[in-house]
Structure 1
Amino acid sequence: MNRISFLTAACLLVSHLVCGQVKPIDFTSSDTAMQTAFRNAREMALHYKRNATDPVGAWYEASLPGRRAFCIRDVSHQCLAAEALGMSRENKNMFLHFVSNISEKKDWCTYWEINYQGKPAPEDYRNDTAFWYNLNANFDIIYACWRLYLWTGDTGYIKHPAFKSFHLRSLNEFVARWILQADSLLQRPPYPNAPVPFNINDYFHRCRGLPSYVENLTDLKMAVDLVAAIYRAVKTWSEVEAWKGNKKAAEAYARKAADYHRELESIWWDKEVERYHTHVTNKGEFGKREGETFLLWFNALTDSVRIRKTIEHLLGNNWNVENLSYLPHQLYRYGYWDNAYNFILYLTNPTTKRREYPEVSFGAIEGIIQGLMGVEADARFNRVSTLYRSRTADSASLLHLPVLSTSVNITHRKNGSTLQNEGPQAINWRIACNSRIPYIVIGGRKMKTTQECGIMGNFISYVEVRVPPGKKLLASFTKN
């Protein structure tokens, strides 16, 4: 298992920078439109890397442009693309600011948005009794920190005292204080923990604990995206406990996650129109607006029919760029390659309105690396996985991708893939292809594949090999 501390990771990064060993990530492709899209997105995203000498420390913008700040939702979305772009130090610092500022006085919330001065952004905070806060935030941080551990191998995102305290407080005290137990979601009062006296016309009172990431709804009791967020966080912590070897705790959290999932599928699915309700009012009336995007983001759906209906509805409507920035990676995962491709080109087009919103460029980077190139990492097994998803390019390459304390070059072709380990540490490579084939040939050695059927009915075949430092391996797909 690849385990490094925050301090060790920082030292490695500084050492590489001093020695000139870190090279900027790049992407090349026979599809020049996608290559241009990546470079446009990279330029825009790196533009948002800010001065590490600011009072807040190393950071990048992740909020409305001009605020000089970063908010939880955006950072949780942007963080893996930021890792790929070499902003590991920024991620650690920003997440540490979030988890360190949870407090009972704020009813176990942290700050929704922090500015370059290291203070809660005044646009969202007056004092501990009057501030803007979306309840999804704590759960999104838990999910983001787990994904950051899987990508980097840095156990600090889980085990550092400030992080561990935040995660456990969020899953326990926060849930209790905001009445978010699975059997209480539709019975909770309109404004739990409201300041006294309460002024409904003061959005720092009214929105102190919004039960959704959708911010343009009034009279809101609960929203489906919050149900999905809680489910994913609890499910994630089950994985954390299993990783730590705590079988009973893992099973207990898995049962809690199942309770939220049953609520999601039994109460929120509208059989008549075959869509999920997105929210319920304080009068008990269900409605449909935004929010379905986060069902995909939090990987909360398990029924392929309902997934298709959800995606078809998302594709059939117009959404703001924040929503669209989530879709490329998710659409690639679920087999909607052409739609994902078109969204990336749209989001990175210089004429697209509001493309300067930071989530947009980071979302496009994520869509290319994890979606198109199918790169995933799992530090529990020191493993990098690749799966090419393209119908427009005969070849594509990612160069100098930082992952698992090393750096890799990945090239995909129609009939195979190549991985070169540039860094100082061996990794395991899971090579996958989008079909049922019996063998994959690596270095002249024919290896029998493992074949799996995905949630959408698609088959993949894969093998796994160890790639030592400095080694380059070529994998060829064969039907014989």
Structure 2
Amino acid sequence: MAGNKNLLPVVLVPSLILGLLLPYGYAPRVHAAQSVNLLQNAGFEEGAMGWAFSGDTGIEQTTPKNGAHLAHLNKGASNVVSQRVTVTETGNYSLTAWVGSAGTGGQMGVRSAAGQVLKSTAIYRMQDYKPYQITDVKLTKGDEIEIYVTGGNNWINLDDFVFYRDDANISSFKLVGQMGESEIDRVENKVVFYMPHGSDVTSLTPEIAVSDGAQITAAPAGKLDFSQPVKYTVQTPDGIVKQWEVTCIMEAKSIAVNSSHRQLNETFNWAKWKAQKYVQTGKRGLINEDERLNSPSSIADYIPSYWAGYAHRTAFYARDFAHQATGAHIIGLQQENFSMLKQFAGSATEEKKWYPSWALNFDGSDFKLDFRSIDSFVREVPAVFEIVQKGYEQYLWTGDEQYIRDPVLWQFYTKAVSDFIELHDTRFPNGIAEGTGKGIFSGSASYNERGDEHLIEAGDGTAAQYLAFLSYAQMLEARGDSAQAAAYFKRAQDLKTHFNTVWGVKEGVPEYIRGYSEDGTALQGFGREASLLMATKLITEPGAKTDAFLDYLDEKYATEKVPNIEALSYLPDTFFLYGRNETAWKWMKHIIDSRPLPHEVASQGSNGDYPEVSYTLISQTVEGLAGIQPNAPKHQVATVPRLPKDIDWLELNYVPLGAHELYVKHEGTTKTTLKHNKGPETLEWEVQFYGRFPLLFVDNRIYLTKQKTLNGKDVSYITVDVPVGKTVTAQAIPQWTVLKLLALLEQYLRSQDVKGPVANQLSNALQQAEHHLSKGAVDQAIHELEKMVRDLQDAKMAPHVSHQAKEGLMAGIAELLKQWRP
């Protein structure tokens, strides 16, 4: 029996990507009773009746969505399936259908009888049936229109069409500050929108769009209180009335971001909302589902996990996971991170020569598309080392000892930095793990899967190995094994030295060698990830060579117009690391602005639908713009503001750092406030500012700064203890003045670091120096400071001046004398 195919199915969600995220077993529901399907033979159960078939098309019985029949189009735009319809009522109409396709290029749409396209949508490469929908087509009674599907670059299957009046709808509902997009359910006539934790939802003014020609006839006036559902009535001119209910859901306590830049605020809220939609923890659904016809999918219970990879594959991928893990932690996915990391670590065995699986199903099993057999599975060298690095980074963010004590993780870390390298260092024995040059199913040296260069060693794999050595050494140290830690710190330094003396040998050439081919040829030029990740992983020695290399990368990614958004997502990470705030922000904005554009793999939907985008925008805001550097195991944190000129101030609240929770606010690049919201003990804060600042002003006290470099850029810093509940503000002081030196002296007087007869002598000398300066008598001012130096160096005064005070005052005097003397 064919089964009932005349009910009006509802497309599960408005976009293809979200349709894939629905739980297994979700059943479409029948539309409201007044909706009538205007199409004849909508499921092709009566053969070709009502439809026009042109070109290489026809009715089949092989794989219908429902019932016994489907329509089929072979490759080619001249192949068309269509049906003419006369519109019975003026109003807005929707078209839904179930479509499967082995290629791209097809189109589904609504056009006039004269051939003018009214609305259409592209058909993606998704061989299993997926729901497609076109909404809000404005038509007039008596219009002759045509529903059509045209062929693409491979076959297309069609089933279960519905074309019906779908009116009196809320089509858009927006509020300033909301998280992501409002969810509009045209079956239940409900709208749900999400607001960040702590938002005031009692006085909101929404922006509402309704079906063309309809209007809201009943709604509360003025600013609305959405702490309870709000009801709206929408009516068409001919009397169709729908009651709509709008509900606000406040997110659970989670990191919150606010800034002077509205687009950044909206993007961060969108990214949190979007990233949470990819969480699969506790669900039951498909595994081994991919874009192939008859993929070997089945149903299983999911482990704690989130989507990391293509949306038409029910899997998380090692590379994507590595790039998403920090963003996942920041929004509270600690359980998922540990679960996924451990699954990858446990998938590496001696039989697989310590390669982890490249992709895992949401139940933790090998994803069959990428795992054919123990001898043929996708494997890429950088992923091995990134898993080690990410284990250490999660330890720093969480303080969770499992990351350095769990036996499965520890075995993997150890094998990755020892046996794995030895087993894969055979072609050019030099301590660097190699690929085979024979493709990803035999072992690729690089993440860059494009091109045919047969790399044996690659820049990104080598750089990832360097950071794996450093990460493993740090974890050894945390475990109390200082001797082994020292050995791996040395291995890291030796590898970095080798790289910078062998791979970066050509002076005056902006790029480094990015790999070696099968015959030992050194390759330069732009190699995408093989080039970029050398800088991202910090193996390039800071200095003129790396500066030129960063300029080169910026230019190449712009001129080469790299299409895949996941590759571009590494650029902000890289440039923020080197304090190139404007360049990093330029690429971050490019990614933000590119979200609505189609992903290069059409079945992904838009760029914003690719999971890596939302997760990395979160981490780039927190680690990049805010410059937060965690060390939860030691109850420490460092911050360095990296705000571009576009952003005057940036504040983050509820930042999770182990058992601590922080508030951080940057005002420009020289003022930072940190509040220790909660935690088990006092937090040690390293306040950092790019540049050479002699002093920091911290809560009415002046501190002499220390100087260091952060990835080649000068940083001035001090360390401050911040008890639980305490708020501390630090501001950089650009240069010494007599008044600043006088303020420092007064601070030492209050603390008794300066006392006795020398106190008056020093104070008088400074006051006289300021008096002479006000009259332009620089020589006399210098004379007063020289008297101070003699007093501070007088052995008789030593008992009355602490070492700290002497050091601070002498430093200030030296800087002032340097300014005043010719």
Please tell me the TM-score bracket, short chain as reference.
0.7 to 0.9
| Equivalent position amino acid for 1:302 in 2 | E
Distance in 2 separating the partners of 1:303 and 1:429: 26
SS at match of 1:149: helix
Distance in 2 separating the partners of 1:257 and 1:151: 22
Question: Which of 456, 459, 469 in structure 1 is aligned with 2:724?
Answer: 469
Partner of 2:517: 281
Distance in 2 separating the partners of 1:53 and 1:186: 41
> What is the CA-CA distance between 1:185 and the residue it aligns to?
6.3
Partner of 1:405: 659
Partner of 1:195: none
* Contact persistence 1:348–1:361 (CA under 8 A): no
* Contact persistence 1:328–1:364 (CA under 8 A): no
> What is the CA-CA distance between 1:180 and the residue it aligns to?
6.7
| Equivalent position amino acid for 1:83 in 2 | H
Distance in 1 separating the partners of 2:432 and 2:720: 49
Distance in 2 separating the partners of 1:437 and 1:273: 34
* 1:36 and 2:266 matched: yes
Distance in 2 separating the partners of 1:295 and 1:52: 38
Distance 1:155 1:180, change over 3 A: farther
- Greater fraction helix: 1
* Contact persistence 1:231–1:261 (CA under 8 A): yes
Partner of 2:596: 351
Which deviations, in whole Å up to 9, do the C-alpha atoms of 1:105-145 show, x marking residues without a partner? 11111211111132111121012121111122221111111
Question: Which of 664, 669, 676 in structure 2 is aligned with 1:421?
Answer: 676
Which deviations, in whole Å up to 9, do the C-alpha atoms of 1:397-456 show, x marking residues without a partner? 012111122211111113522212222323222222223333333333333322223443
Distance 1:445 1:182, change over 3 A: farther
| Equivalent position amino acid for 1:129 in 2 | D
Distance in 2 separating the partners of 1:303 and 1:424: 36
Higher relative contact order (CA 8 A, sep 6+): 1
Question: Which of 59, 78, 85 in structure 1 is aligned with 2:305?
Answer: 59
Question: Which of 433, 445, 465 in structure 1 is aligned with 2:689?
Answer: 433
Structure 1: gaps spanning 5 or more residues? 1-19, 192-199
Distance in 1 separating the partners of 2:432 and 2:362: 38
Partner of 1:80: 326
Distance 1:328 1:21, change over 3 A: closer
- Greater fraction strand: 2
Distance 1:459 1:416, change over 3 A: same
* Contact persistence 1:385–1:429 (CA under 8 A): yes
SS at match of 2:352: coil
Distance in 2 separating the partners of 1:303 and 1:257: 16
* Contact persistence 2:271–2:614 (CA under 8 A): yes
Distance in 2 separating the partners of 1:404 and 1:188: 36
Partner of 2:641: 388
Partner of 2:538: 299
| Equivalent position amino acid for 2:445 in 1 | P
> What is the CA-CA distance between 1:273 and the residue it aligns to?
3.0
| Equivalent position amino acid for 1:351 in 2 | P
Distance 1:382 1:130, change over 3 A: same
SS at match of 1:108: coil
SS at match of 1:43: helix
| Equivalent position amino acid for 2:652 in 1 | L
Distance in 2 separating the partners of 1:48 and 1:305: 42
Distance in 1 separating the partners of 2:533 and 2:591: 19
Which deviations, in whole Å up to 9, do the C-alpha atoms of 1:172-209 show, x marking residues without a partner? 22112212798436897946xxxxxxxx7xx6xx6222
* 1:45 and 2:275 matched: yes
Partner of 1:208: 442
| Equivalent position amino acid for 1:72 in 2 | A
* Contact persistence 2:398–2:659 (CA under 8 A): yes
Alignment RMSD (CA, Å): 2.5
Partner of 1:325: 569
SS at match of 2:353: coil
* 1:371 and 2:624 matched: yes
Distance 1:134 1:77, change over 3 A: same
* Contact persistence 1:182–1:263 (CA under 8 A): no
Distance in 2 separating the partners of 1:281 and 1:455: 30
SS at match of 1:222: strand
**Higher alpha-carbon deviation: 136-145 or 357-366:** 357-366
Distance in 1 separating the partners of 2:711 and 2:342: 35
Moved over 6 A (4+): 185-189
Distance in 1 separating the partners of 2:434 and 2:416: 18
SS at match of 1:98: helix
Alignment coverage as a number of residue pairs: 448
Question: Which of 445, 459, 483 in structure 2 is aligned with 1:248?
Answer: 483
**Higher alpha-carbon deviation: 214-223 or 175-184:** 175-184
> What is the CA-CA distance between 1:146 and the residue it aligns to?
0.7
**Higher alpha-carbon deviation: 112-121 or 235-244:** 235-244
Distance 1:180 1:224, change over 3 A: farther
**Aligned ranges for residues 125-144 of structure 1 at < 5 Å?**
125-144=371-390
* Contact persistence 1:224–1:264 (CA under 8 A): no
* 1:119 and 2:374 matched: no
Which deviations, in whole Å up to 9, do the C-alpha atoms of 1:284-309 show, x marking residues without a partner? 22323221121122221123222222
| Equivalent position amino acid for 1:304 in 2 | G
Distance 1:114 1:264, change over 3 A: same
| Equivalent position amino acid for 1:285 in 2 | T
Which deviations, in whole Å up to 9, do the C-alpha atoms of 1:200-223 show, x marking residues without a partner? 7xx6xx622211111124322221
* Contact persistence 2:577–2:711 (CA under 8 A): no
* Contact persistence 1:347–1:361 (CA under 8 A): no
> What is the CA-CA distance between 1:82 and the residue it aligns to?
0.8
* Contact persistence 1:330–1:371 (CA under 8 A): no
The alignment-based identity, stated in percent, is: 25
Question: Which of 244, 251, 264 in structure 1 is aligned with 2:499?
Answer: 264
Larger Rg: 2
* Contact persistence 1:52–1:58 (CA under 8 A): yes
* Contact persistence 1:438–1:448 (CA under 8 A): yes
